Amino acid sequence: MAITLSSGFKIPIVGLGVWRMEPKEIRDLIINAIQIGYRHFDCAADYKNEAEVGDALAEAFQTGLVKREDLFITTKLWNSDHGHVLEACKDSLKKLRLEYLDLYLVHFPVATKHTGVGNTGSALDEDGVLEIDTTVSLETTWHAMEDLVSKGLVRSIGISNYDIFLTRDCLAYSKIKPAVNQIETHPYFQRDSLVKFCLKHGISVTAHTPLGGAAANTEWFGTVSCLDDPVFKDLAKKYQRSVAQIALRWGVQRNTVVIPKSSKLERLKENLEVFDFELTKEDMELIKSLDRKYRTNQPAKFWGIDLYA
């Protein structure tokens, strides 16, 4: 199952995110995921495992497990490389061992002090606050992203973690409209206005953290997951599915792409199996009532500044 982007290319509705995947685990994860049926992989320079993903992809291509054109590979421009978009993209392509990206995203709507291409650092000042670069505008960054398309390095370009106002601005100054806005959205953080705004203007929405982050965000940020909610446990019994499948199916039915992460084989299979059942209108409304406007991914913990404030 796939959604056609405004660029004309198709993005598989369920993908696998590799955030916080240990480099030594990547090879088996990617190969197993492809064997199971995954065709969409979501990467980022900041995840610091592009090279390992690239090795696994190269093995998959060389052994005939899958063809390059069968996969949809996303990666992202880090904050410190806004003034070095071409070099950063080429660095990611080299590490991923690819000739082109299916999708390249601006990871966050902020330019920070340059720390060297490929070195995705977040420079902090003496007060422990993120060093923001005020000389590079988001418009300048976007036009550099557009140049990647004309150079044939990238098929589709998009944004990530942009709110309604920044998305509107991007639509206003873009020659190539953003094909995707990748945002945190899940039943506890539904962001209905932003999702509807994007879809209305032809921007597909990819839900990162579609399960509310679960164990990973609990460990880093102390947040709770919607998967522990009694409503989800009841719905899982009703549909004879896992709570994760209920949450992912909800995301699919609201026309978003979902990219859950898991290193467990059984979970990988389970997360793909969300197309053979449908939540009723009443149950979709029930889940809608659970919205807490609760963000689980909190980069302010590392940056000393809340970019969402």
Per-residue pLDDT of the chain (309 residues; tens, 9 = 90+): 999 999 999 999 999 998 878 888 899 999 999 999 999 999 999 999 999 999 999 999 999 999 999 999 999 999 999 999 999 999 999 999 999 999 999 999 999 999 999 888 899 998 899 999 999 999 999 999 999 999 999 999 999 999 999 999 999 999 999 999 999 999 999 999 999 999 999 999 999 989 876 666 666 666 778 888 999 999 999 999 999 999 999 999 999 999 998 888 899 999 999 999 999 999 999 999 999 998 888 888 888 888 876
Helix (H, G, I), strand (E, B), or coil: what is residue 11? strand
Rounded to an integer, what is the distance from CA 8 to the centroid of its chain?
A: 19
Exactly one of 47, 104, 162, 188 is catalytic; name it.
47
Kindly report the number of other CB atoms within 10 A of residue 177's CB atom: 16
Residue 47 annotated as catalytic = yes
C-alpha pair distances (Å), 57 with each of 7, 40, 147, 257:
24, 12, 26, 22
Tell me the domain boundaries of the chain. Answer: 2-302
pTM of the full predicted structure? Answer: 0.96
Architecture of the domain whose range is 2-302: Alpha-Beta Barrel (3.20)
Between the two ends of the chain, the Cα-to-Cα distance in Å is: 36
**Ligand-binding site membership of 107 (annotated):** yes
**CA nearest neighbour of 263 among 3, 10, 31:** 31
